[in-house]
A and B are shown apart, each in its own frame.
Chain A
């Protein structure tokens, strides 16, 4: 009897263990998130952090609208530019913009770019946009007679430093010479690994001040947070000087907190009172208590440092709570107008400047090409990766001209250090770097206001200066 019971117990235990092992295996497989390390092309999926889809009929003709490229519209025809019809035209546009590679035989040159981007979790849509922008650039570079570019994308989940570290190890082990990363903490975490190699690391999206001067190998792929965010405080002080009390609602995440500190520092410098600094969890479904606390603090204006759908959640929570003051932020997408039922009217935000009507053939390669390729509107993150991929191609050509290996990270860094500038970008402006801080300079930011669900450019922010009423065309 005992033996029977024991055998039965043993069989049950074995089955239980098998079940547990199966569950753990399922967990592990799911957590791995599928294919991470293959060289592949990004899917043409949605990018929500765009500077705007706009309907030309509803846009105020007196303002500059950052985006006209509705997917349903003819994306090849814009106000001022058209997509080049063939490769010769693309090459001519590149050359005219300053990317003339005709003196180098690039037919057999292949560059591998590593990417540390979200491919699982809440920010997959951002990662998809980043990869789609880079992929578009690679196709256009090839069409322009440039080098062949292949991508090796590693998943960093929702900006997770541990996943980013694992991805960086894989890239370094594979000898990748240049890496595009995203998210501040995820990028900072990989610096020690990158420094064990010669790789050039571009913080292509999410750059913050605490990443400056961290490593000789870490360069910013976008204007740093030191540039635009304080302009939110400048705007309030300039446009509504009677407002003196502000509160912040900020993602409980390193980059966001660092960005918020820039805003609050400027606000207090300008003599404003900070009534409350409220942190909210990424993807929080209930921001009601935070909104109530902010309203209870008697704030007259709220600065949001949250992204994606959380901007809508925050606006809804504040408006539901009866907040009637100005809400300013750092991100917007068309879904926010839908999710707030138009409650984002008057919402103001600052981000990288984009203007789909820009009269610049090179910028139009992205501004028209991206919606045509993906079927979704332009957005900041795809533009950053589009720009950065072209910058890497140009650096590779410079290395080749000097007789070096274009996949050698050290050579790429040397080339960048020797001439820390690029002649053109998707914003229609050149791009430059400060070789001491590795911060990107020159490329401007835009200050937008939502009017009838359409982002309207109301100011340019460059070198930390808010220029009310300026447009990208004014910078040329």
Chain B
């Protein structure tokens, strides 16, 4: 085995795991609370990325671009709940019906975006900063900052869920929505807040990926699907589970590169999900 390669792939895996952790937590906040298979999460990702790229392209600073990505994500996520899922829920739509509607929204949205903004990649320019060498592992400054930010974000979400009134309401809605309503939790607002928070987190992830590459209409699906896999892998309903699932996924996708070509990453994800769910259907971290 090439030890240097393994070491670098390990570092890459941790970077990817941190990125996927943010995406997986965003899924966890939405799916665990509302049980909506929100495929249009991928559209949120793309819109947030374009929001950031357009803002930076218009001359605003990059941090403003990051805020725009978060804002676009939060607003679009909340609108999805208010404008689509709430109505479907009221009309008795099944989970599958919501999934189809969500997929339709994604496809229509991406096509409209292409018509409006073109399919040409939009860059925010290259983020400088060079790279850091840690024990023979090379990590760019942008990636290092992202890992730190991901740790802070995940910590903040967990604190929010445990300490804040809204966070506890979300957790209650996950466990038993009827009981939560009976004790005065406004489920409708909790759902809106879940979509807004989860989508804002995804906006941050989209900002990072746009900084690394560029905004493109098709950029949303791969990371969002990987984040979904990570959430299932870790166990639905547990934020820590989503984080653990993301790190396992990031490491395995990258360390798989010791033997497999890089474009097999997605296949590795699903094989791991398949194997883990066979052995532990509840995911790596069992719900309470």
The residues of A with any CB-CB pair to B shorter than 8 Å are 11-12, 15-16, 19-20, 22-27, 29-31, 33-34, 45-46, 48, 120-125, 128, 252, 278-281, 283-290, 292-293, 295-296, 308-309, 312-313, 316, 320-322, 335, 338-343
Q: Is the CB of A27 within 8 A of B126?
A: no
Which of B15, B93, B108 makes the CB contact (< 8 A) with A15? B93
B281 to chain A, nearest CB (A): 27
A289 touching B262, Cβ below 8 Å? yes
Q: Is B131 in contact with chain A by the CB < 8 A criterion?
A: yes
Complex: chain B residue closest to A280, CB-CB: B263
A12 CB contacts on chain B under 8 angstroms: 92
Instruction: Tell me if B81 is interfacial: C-beta within 8 Å of chain A.
Output: no
In this complex, which of B91, B143, B218, B263 has the most chain A Cβ atoms within 10 angstroms of its Cβ? B263
B108 touches A26 (CB 8 A): yes
Is chain B's interface secondary structure helix, strand, loop, or mixed overall?
A: helix
**Given A339-B123, A341-B126, A293:B131 Cβ within 8 A:** no
9 nearest CB pairs, A to B: A341-B126, A296-B5, A309-B121, A290-B262, A26-B104, A23-B100, A339-B123, A289-B262, A23-B104
Question: Are A285 and B219 closer than 8 Å at their CB atoms?
Answer: yes
For residue A125, which residues in chain B have a CB less than 8 angstroms away from its CB?
118-120
Q: Which of B65-114 contact A (CB under 8 A)?
A: 88, 91-94, 96-98, 100-101, 103-105, 107-108, 110-111, 114
Contact B107 A26 (CB under 8 A): yes
Q: Looking at B100, B121, B123, B263, which has the most chain A CB atoms within 10 Å of its CB?
A: B121
Q: Find out whether the CB atom of A343 lies under 8 angstroms from the CB atom of B126.
A: yes
* A–B complex contacts, Cβ < 8 Å, 13 sampled: A16-B94, A20-B100, A22-B101, A24-B100, A27-B104, A120-B114, A308-B121, A316-B126, A320-B143, A322-B138, A335-B123, A338-B125, A339-B213
Q: How long is the Cα–Cα vector from A124 to B218 in the complex, in angstroms?
A: 12
| B107 contacts A27, C-beta separation under 8 Å | yes
**Count of A-B residue pairs with CB < 8 Å:** 175
B: residues with CB less than 8 A from A are 2, 4-5, 8-9, 12, 15-16, 88, 91-94, 96-98, 100-101, 103-105, 107-108, 110-111, 114-115, 118-121, 123, 125-128, 131, 138, 140, 143, 209, 212-214, 216-219, 222-223, 253-254, 257, 261-263, 265
A293-B262, A342-B126 given; 5 more Cβ-contact pairs under 8 Å:
A16-B93, A23-B100, A124-B118, A124-B119, A335-B214
CB distance from A251 to the nearest CB of B (A): 10
A343 to chain B, nearest CB (A): 6
Contact indicator B105/A293 (Cβ below 8 Å): no
Inter-subunit contact A320/B263 (CB<8 Å): no
A286→B125 contact, CB < 8 A: no
Closest to A24 in B: B100
Write the chain A residue with the least CB distance to B210: A285
- Given A120-B114, A121-B119, A283-B219, answer yes or no on A278-B5 (Cβ-Cβ < 8 Å): no
Q: Check if A279 sits within 8 Å of B4, measured CB to CB.
A: no
Contacting residue for B126 out of A16, A252, A295, A340, CB 8 A: A340
What residues on A are CB-neighbors of B254 within 8 Å?
A: 288-289, 292
Cross-interface CB contact of A309 among B92, B143, B213, cutoff 8 Å: B213
Residue contact A16 to B97, C-beta cutoff 8 Å: yes
A20 to B93, CA, bound (A): 9
Most-contacted residue by chain A among B97, B140, B217, B219 (CB, 10 A): B97
Contact A19 B91 (CB under 8 A): yes
- Our pick among A16, A289, A320 for the contact of B253 (Cβ within 8 Å) is A289
With a cutoff of 8 Å between Cβ atoms, the chain A residues found around residue B218 in the complex are 121-122, 283
Contacts of A343 in B (CB 8 A): 126
CB distance from B105 to the nearest CB of A (A): 7
Min CB distance, B32 to chain A, in Å? 23
CB-CB < 8 A to B16: which residues of A? 286, 288
> Quick check: B126 and A279 within 8 Å, CB to CB?
no
- In Å, the complex CA distance between A313 and B211 comes to 11
Is A30's CB under 8 angstroms from B111's CB? yes
Q: In the complex, are the beta carbons of A288 and B216 less than 8 A apart?
A: no
